[in-house]
């Protein structure tokens, strides 16, 4: 797609995203197959009580992170978001590594969603090659992102809307079944006191779900990326930040509670978290009990929507991060150009190509290369969250060093300075404890590397950039607190 317009127009994003877009972008980014399919496995592992504790703790951590991100994104709504904040307030090398880490994470996520979409379509078209559906959906995602930021936001709004409606219907029907109004006699608290319930596996069971819950909430930070194209960031970003956390927490806590009341933690169906078997999704099981016909087909459609939503957000986030990297000289300058609609089309094309190549790698041989790529990106979200917390602390140091009155901030994070410190520590626990069995020597070296490969990769990129450029860390008194140019 050729560029047009003035040179300034070709290098500028357009602020066309509204509050409803930002809200649904964040909700859509964090409600996905982890909730619809794998939520049952968390209860099977830790029991209904253990799952609730884990999701509540992670939800609190995400709340603290969103407070930190909201404060920075409202004051400095720049392209690149936390990658830019890392560069401005910590060091150019850290920002470089954080930006490429986030780009890599979502580019690989696009490939993973293409694979998942192919599996879901086999429910209706078992004889059609999966790559056909993957290619079709990739084309749809590219089209949504290539039109404009507004088109992406509108697409994501409706993708997320379907997911939100599904969760609300699930919660309402689940409550009616719990009360005995639908689906026969009320189960009461029987599933909360049977066997080892409500806590299965003790502290280790909760720790295991701690990791799963953390992955489930990833995507909420997308509102920070989208802030660079928000129409009125000083108002739209705070509104989105204030609403999304409580909605997401209600959805997750409510869902876990409903499943815990209606399905025994020892039910073998809860152990099956494969996307290809929609019939044993806890949502499907509860809908069946409530008397909804064709529940599996309905949930299959919802899960397909969820996958397309994740792929849509992934393509958007990684494209904008590559654009921001190019704008500050950390990626080829050509990726920093936009068309007259404010879309960095070359960055979009490069990201889509990487996603397609990674998807193709999943079809070659045993798919080992693809598996390692997915594992390498697994920790990227937590590394990003740690970067947000650290950047926020350095941001506040810069404000203090330059005599800025925090009362003038358009949005202030609650619980500062404890908030980012607590979030940073909790993220570190998640990262270290991702595969406790491997760390304790109960798994081979391959399993250990597979779980933690993302961390040394990030540290290597950070260190190499530091050695090559020899750029010092940022002096808070000299940190850039003013420019928001894109």
Burial class (CB within 10 angstroms; exposed 0-12, middle 13-18, buried 19+) of 8: exposed
DSSP 8-state assignment for residue 335: G
Mean of pLDDT values over 151-174 = 87
Closest CA to 152 of 242, 69, 247, 28: 28
Q: How far is CA 251 from CA 22, 234, 240, 245, 254, in A?
A: 18, 27, 16, 10, 5
What CATH architecture does domain 13-468 belong to? Up-down Bundle (1.20)
Residue 9 has pLDDT above 50, yes or no: no
User: What 3-state class would DSSP assign to 231?
Assistant: coil
In the numeric block, the tokens 């420019």 are attached to 483
Q: Poorest-confidence range of 145-159, 385-399, 401-415? A: 145-159
Q: 304, 166 in Cβ contact below 8 A?
A: no
Mean of pLDDT values over 392-418 = 93
Q: Poorest-confidence range of 66-75, 205-214, 310-319? A: 205-214
**pLDDT for 476:** 94
Residues 166-182: pLDDT tens digits? 888 889 988 998 998 88
Q: 47, 200 in Cβ contact below 8 A?
A: yes
Cα–Cα–Cα angle for 469, 475, 479, rounded to 5 degrees: 95
Mean of pLDDT values over 302-319 = 86
Mean of pLDDT values over 375-387 = 84
Q: How far is CA 149 from CA 142, 145, 308, 336, in A?
A: 12, 7, 17, 15
> CB count, 10 Å around CB of 43?
28
State the pLDDT confidence band at 193, using cuts at 50, 70 and 90: confident
State the pLDDT confidence band at 2, using cuts at 50, 70 and 90: very low
State the pLDDT confidence band at 474, using cuts at 50, 70 and 90: very high
In the numeric block, the tokens 């929609």 are attached to 278
Main-chain phi, psi angles of 230, to 5 degrees = -75, 140
**pLDDT for 85:** 93
The residues, any chain, with a CB within 8 Å of residue 417's CB and separated by 6 or more, are: 393, 396
DSSP 8-state assignment for residue 230: B
In what helix (H) or strand (E) does residue 162 lie, and over which residues does it extend? helix 149-178
Q: Which residue has the higher pLDDT, 112 or 424?
A: 424
**Alpha-carbon distance 374 to 325, whole Å?**
22
**pLDDT for 5:** 43
State the pLDDT confidence band at 8, using cuts at 50, 70 and 90: very low
Residue 88 has pLDDT above 90, yes or no: yes
Sign of CA dihedral 133, 135, 136, 137: positive
Average pLDDT, the chain: 83
Whole-model pTM: value is 0.87
Burial class (CB within 10 angstroms; exposed 0-12, middle 13-18, buried 19+) of 204: middle
**Alpha-carbon distance 322 to 336, whole Å?**
8
**Length of the chain, please?**
486
Sign of CA dihedral 267, 120, 368, 450: negative
Q: Which residue has the higher pLDDT, 468 or 445?
A: 468
**pLDDT for 386:** 94
Closest CA to 44 of 303, 269, 365: 269
**pLDDT for 89:** 95
In the numeric block, the tokens 């008194």 are attached to 477
Q: Poorest-confidence range of 157-171, 255-269, 318-332, 429-443? A: 429-443
User: What 3-state class would DSSP assign to 484?
Assistant: coil
Name the percent of the chain lying above pLDDT 70. 89
Q: 167, 306 in Cβ contact below 8 A?
A: no
State the pLDDT confidence band at 3, using cuts at 50, 70 and 90: very low
Burial class (CB within 10 angstroms; exposed 0-12, middle 13-18, buried 19+) of 4: exposed
403: left (phi over 0), alpha (psi -120 to 50) or beta: left
Q: How far is CA 181 from CA 185, 283, 289, in A?
A: 8, 18, 11
Q: 190, 30 in Cβ contact below 8 A?
A: no
Closest CA to 174 of 70, 277, 256: 256
């Amino acid at each position: 797609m050729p560029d047009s317009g003035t040179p300034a127009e070709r290098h500028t994003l357009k602020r066309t995203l509204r509050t409803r877009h930002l809200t649904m972008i964040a909700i859509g980014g964090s409600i996905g197959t982890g909730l619809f399919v794998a939520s049952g496995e968390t209860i099977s592992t830790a029991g209904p009580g253990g799952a609730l504790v884990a999701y509540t703790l992670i939800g609190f951590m995400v709340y603290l992170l969103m407070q930190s991100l909201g404060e920075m994104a409202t004051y400095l709504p720049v392209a690149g978001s936390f990658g830019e904040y890392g560069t401005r307030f910590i060091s150019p090398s850290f920002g470089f590594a954080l930006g490429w880490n986030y780009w890599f994470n979502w580019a690989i996520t696009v490939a993973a969603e293409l694979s998942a979409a192919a599996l879901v379509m086999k429910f209706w078209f078992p004889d059609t090659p999966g790559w056909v559906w993957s290619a079709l959906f990739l084309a749809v995602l590219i089209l949504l992102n290539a039109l404009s930021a507004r088109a992406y936001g509108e697409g994501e709004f409706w993708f997320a809307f379907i997911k939100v409606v599904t969760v609300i219907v699930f919660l309402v029907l689940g409550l009616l079944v719990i009360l005995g109004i639908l689906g026969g006699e009320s189960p009461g608290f029987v599933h909360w006191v049977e066997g080892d319930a409500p806590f299965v596996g003790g502290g280790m069971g909760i720790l295991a779900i701690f990791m799963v819950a953390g992955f489930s909430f990833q995507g909420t930070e997308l509102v920070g990326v989208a802030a660079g194209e928000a129409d009125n960031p000083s108002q739209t970003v705070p509104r989105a930040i204030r609403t999304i956390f409580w909605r997401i927490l209600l959805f997750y806590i409510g869902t876990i509670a409903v499943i815990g009341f209606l399905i025994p933690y020892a039910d073998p169906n809860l152990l099956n978290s494969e996307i290809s078997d929609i019939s044993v999704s806890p949502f499907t099981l509860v809908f069946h009990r409530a008397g909804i016909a064709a529940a599996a087909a309905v949930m299959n459609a919802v899960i397909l929507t969820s996958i397309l939503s994740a792929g849509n957000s992934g393509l958007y986030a990684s494209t904008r991060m590559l654009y921001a990297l190019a704008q500050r000289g950390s990626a080829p300058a050509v990726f920093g150009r936009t068309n007259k609609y404010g879309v960095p089309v070359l960055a979009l094309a490069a990201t889509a190509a990487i996603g397609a190549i990674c998807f193709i790698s999943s079809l070659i041989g045993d798919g080992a290369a693809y598996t390692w790529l997915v594992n390498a990106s697994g920790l990227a979200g937590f590394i990003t969250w740690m970067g947000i917390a650290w950047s926020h602390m350095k941001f506040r140091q810069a404000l203090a060093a330059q005599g800025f009155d925090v009362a003038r901030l358009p949005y202030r994070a609650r619980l500062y300075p404890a908030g980012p410190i607590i979030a940073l520590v909790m993220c570190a626990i998640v990262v270290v404890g991702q595969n406790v069995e491997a760390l304790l020597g109960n798994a081979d070296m391959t399993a250990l590397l597979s779980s933690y490969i993302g961390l040394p990769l990030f540290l290597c990129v950070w260190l190499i950039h530091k050695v090559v450029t020899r750029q010092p860390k940022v002096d808070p008194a000299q940190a850039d607190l003013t420019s928001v140019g894109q």
